[in-house]
Amino acid sequence: MRQIPEGFIIPDFGKVATATQTSGTASEAATYDGPRKMALICSKGNLDMAYPGLILGNSAAGEGIETHMFFTFWGLDIVNKKTNDKLQFTMIGNTAMHMPDLGYVRPGLEHWSMPQFMGRLPGMTKASTKMMKKQMDDLEIPSVPEFLDLLQASGVHMYACKLSFDMMKMLEADLHPAVEGVISAADFIEISTGAQTIFI
Amino acid sequence: MPTNTIDQFTFEVNDEGFLTDRNQWSKELCEVLAELVGIEHLTPEHWATIEFMRDDSAKSGVTPTLRRMQTVGGFDVRELYQLFPGKPVKKMAYLSGLPKPVGCV
């Protein structure tokens, strides 16, 4: 490889990640000095809570970071083929629900927090889901199933939580093919040795 | 604005090292930069991605993201990771003489 001349400014492309460490002991964690790793734990099944994990996973992979994602509890819906294209967004319990378009009616209204009772009106969840999906689509963000394909192609490792899997009586055939396996929490702790772990 | 000099090439870069003027880019410079980021030889597959990046950004004004490379350019993401190991989009943007992409996906 060619040497970089003195005074030459070049973006940090890091070292090319090669080694995939998938096992280790607790004592290794403290001394882990391999390439940077990230572990994302996705525990929610609402549409708005599915995207943060997917986007972070995609960005981490794009930065050359070894990335592992663990789908647990309601997060299993993200990797369940029967549900992952139908994830929903509800404004109930979300006080940060604004309508950007209201700003056209009267300036300032776009920051108005919608009253909670409105979320309980029939069809409201469906409407807000549709709206969020459209906003995502406008920004060229893929749907959840397509996102999983993208992550798989980017080399992100994905696992389903064994306990949740059994609890929800899920079928292996329903798992998105990007999921590498149904593993226990302890397995994931081992896999995530030396990783920065993010719980979503 | 810092200036990088290598062989017969002189070009302006930002603080990170990305080219600030796409007109200072040339195929010859691209080959030199590729060696610096660990790509010894640019294959026709490499060139196809670089050409798409430059064409697309000339039209849209922004550096395409990996997702756009897939949906608009029709490239296979897996292959892009193999062609530009480590940080594919950043490497492609760098070699194309473009700023790093700002899009999240």
User: pLDDT truncated to tens, each residue of chain B (105 aa)?
Assistant: 888 888 888 898 998 899 999 899 999 999 999 998 888 899 999 999 999 999 999 999 899 998 899 999 999 999 999 999 888 999 999 999 999 888 778
| CATH code of the domain containing A180 | 3.40.1260.10
Query: What is the dihedral sign for C-alpha B32, B34, B40, B44?
Result: negative
CA distance A167 to chain B (A): 33
Phi and psi at residue B78, in whole multiples of 5°? -60, -40
Residue A150: closest CA among A162, A140, A142, A158: A142
Which pLDDT score is estimated for A20?
Answer: 44
Residue A57's domain comprises 32-85+143-199
Structurally, how many domains does chain A consist of? 1
In chain A, whose CA is at the least distance from the CA of B38?
A1
Decide if A26 is inside a domain: no
Decide if A164 is inside a domain: yes
Nearest CB to A153: which of B37, B78, B86? Answer: B78
Decide if A47 is inside a domain: yes
The answer to whether B85 contacts A153, with C-beta atoms less than 8 Å apart, is no
Confidence of residue A190 (pLDDT cuts 50, 70, 90): confident
In this structure, chain A runs to a length of: 200
Per-residue pLDDT averaged across A93-104, rounded?
A: 87
Decide if A182 is inside a domain: yes
Distance CA A53, CA A67 (A): 11
- Residue that the structure tokens 């000099």 belong to: B5
Which pLDDT score is estimated for A17?
Answer: 44
Which pLDDT score is estimated for A21?
Answer: 44
In chain A, whose CA is at the least distance from the CA of B70?
A150
